Structure 1
Amino acid sequence: MTTAGSLVDVPGTKVGHAHDPRAWTGCTAIVWEKGALCSVDVRGSAPGTRETDLLDPTCLVDRVHAVCLSGGSGFGLDAATGVAAYLEERGIGADVGYGIVPIVPAAVLFDLSVGDPKVRPDKAMGYAAASRATDAPVQEGNVGAGCGASVGKIGGFAKAMKSGLGSASVRLPGGLVIGAVVAVNALGEVRDPATREVLAGPLNPDGLLEDSHELLIRQPFSFTGVPKGTNTTLAVVASNANLTKAELKKVAEMTHDGFARTIYPVHTMYDGDAVFAASTGGVDASVDVVGAVSAQVVAEAIARAVRSAESGGGLPAHRDLKNVRQGDGSKP
């Protein structure tokens, strides 16, 4: 299966970014003007989220009109208010009888250590991201929610590398399209899902990649120099499959396998990892097929996020290591 393209290949899906490249922070709005069924699965233990409870299959609301991914830690949740304001102005949302209420779940990652911690995505930035949402190919790298993203902090922030935002999609026989966008801000290292090559991770003083497993077992009680809640990988995966809200919950659960194929360690007490799974409908497909392929698409998007990132905020990127011999970095 070859993954190419981006999340907007899924019919009815638009994506927009807004960011401050000097403060190294930003947000991304994934918009469905006609609504999309959606659920979520949070595996990390330090999440920052908004309106994720309503995505449980037992809750009343089943359609969302956007998902907002943002930097800024807890402060960045304010960006979702701007996304909702933009949609309300255009009459996009749930008609509650007294007006239109856009349903905009959100999740945030921690990027305060990379740029200016006093500048965070706010309502204005969220509004800007939504206003820029388009079905053009998704921009990748140091954009949107990935503007200030970093990885490899398992040995402390001084050893970290720059990451970013990536997207990928796949078209299957029968017209099924599955796409994803991921902002990668992990505690651990990131590996290519096909070759297992370490793409980014903790660096030693000589600029060589360290073995994350060795760093892990050297710190049996806690990670040194890593404050809790300072890492999170956020993903939105969507398809045009005819799935129920409960089935989308299963897709979100299965999609986390893509995290495990590329990030090590993953879903730690220091990460707030979350996957939103959405569907615009139109094609009959098995929930197992959608879930399994979604994991593959997300894994590719994670690798693309790292490959497309550029150095910044004092952190080197994957492209800076192309002529540097890597350490062993093998996992057990």
Structure 2
Amino acid sequence: MPHAALNLLTDVEGLSVGHATDLVLGSGVTVIVFDEPATASGTVLGGAPGGRDTGLLDPSMTVQQVDAFVLSGGSAFGLDAAGGVQSGLRAAGRGFAVGPVRVPIVPQAILMDLLNGGNKDWGLHAPYRDLGYEAYRNAATGAFPLGTIGAGTGATTANFKGGLGSASAVSSTGHTVAALVAVNAMGSVVIGDGPQFWAASFEEKQEFGGLGQPSHVSAEDRAMRIKGLRLTATTIGAVVTDCTLSKAETHRLSLCAHDGLARAVLPTHLPSDGDTMFAASTGKRASNGAADLMELCHLATLVTARAIARGVFEAVALPYPDALPAWRDRWG
């Protein structure tokens, strides 16, 4: 299935994406802002998650729509980022109406990047609320860079620098579905020591090097490669479509996004991962029924896997001594 125009989340009509990046801190924030409230859900399958307002995404909960999603570094400190995004949305008059008050609905997931060599001596208050507001102010449609940016700034994997990745696809009936993922996995995105990616069979137009798969995957290639037993990680992201879906249907879409995660990272969903995937529908195009949902679930798996490989492929190493090398440092 071909990708859409930019092969990015912004191919989906009805949203914008913004980033805030701090290379001294070694961390950052990415925000997905919906033009209008978007029907949304999500799924947490990692054993060590961190999130804000993720409980309301359960299909049985009252609130059906969200104003934005936030992906952030900073571990639990990073949860302040959603407050900065809420501030921007509130100033714009956005939010769930509670009498005369509007409360912006901004679910957030965080990743652990506190041990990557950046300067985390930020004083009394963590900088993430300000970074969240900056990312909100930077939100725009159109092209945006990948790799070491926004929530992917401080991300790492078992063997190479992680990063922010995105990919999109168009269904047979013309619906767009796309993923945006910050890859900070406990496991590895490459087969063995590389250079090929576990997601190679889903690649479109050489978007992560066009290297294909090795002729043989050995037992050594399949051996577990992880950051370490006492470290925590997390791959977090969102998959979004312009097709009109119910909250329950977006929940199913988030589960299929986790299928893409499991096809792109080995191992994944570990006790020390916080793997979280959001899903949303901007509702810009009508659904044709069950067949559309089936295909969108299939495509959600593919775009998530592709986005993860792109995040690592596009990343550059952080500018610190002994920083984890990027994939391109070894394989170019």
Q: Under a length normalisation based on structure 1, what TM-score does the superposition of the two structures give?
A: 0.85
1:194 deviates by: 2.4
Cross-structure match for 1:330: none
Cross-structure match for 1:124: 130
1:118 deviates by: 3.1
1:96 deviates by: 1.5
In 2, the alpha carbon distance for the partners of 1:129 and 1:54 equals: 23
Cross-structure match for 1:288: 294
Q: Which of 57, 62, 65 in structure 1 is aligned with 2:64? A: 62
1:213 deviates by: 4.0
In 2, the alpha carbon distance for the partners of 1:224 and 1:43 equals: 19
Is residue 2:324 matched to residue 1:315? yes
In 2, the alpha carbon distance for the partners of 1:225 and 1:184 equals: 17
Report the AA paired with residue 324 of structure 2. L
CA RMSD of aligned residues (A): 2.0
Conserved? CA contact 2:184–2:235, under 8 Å? yes
Q: Which moved more, 1:3-12 or 1:17-26?
A: 3-12
In 2, the alpha carbon distance for the partners of 1:42 and 1:28 equals: 19
Q: How does 1:92-171 map to 2 (within 5 A)?
A: 92-114=94-116, 115-119=118-122, 121-152=127-158, 160-171=159-170
Conserved? CA contact 1:189–1:212, under 8 Å? no
1:102 deviates by: 0.4
SS of the aligned residue for 1:182 comes to strand
When the two structures are aligned, how many residues end up with a matched partner?
298
Displacement over 6 Å in runs of 4+: none
1:137 deviates by: 1.5
Cross-structure match for 1:326: none
In 2, the alpha carbon distance for the partners of 1:214 and 1:52 equals: 33
Deviations 1:102-126 (A, max 9, x none): 0000010000011223345521110
What fraction of aligned residue pairs are identical, expressed as a percent? Answer: 42
Cross-structure match for 2:38: 36
SS of the aligned residue for 1:141 comes to coil
1:99 deviates by: 1.6
Is residue 2:3 matched to residue 1:3? yes
Cross-structure match for 1:48: 50
Q: Under a length normalisation based on structure 2, what TM-score does the superposition of the two structures give?
A: 0.85
Residues 1:321 and 1:3: Cα distance change in structure 2 (over 3 Å):
farther
Conserved? CA contact 1:188–1:212, under 8 Å? no
1:196 deviates by: 9.2
SS of the aligned residue for 1:190 comes to coil
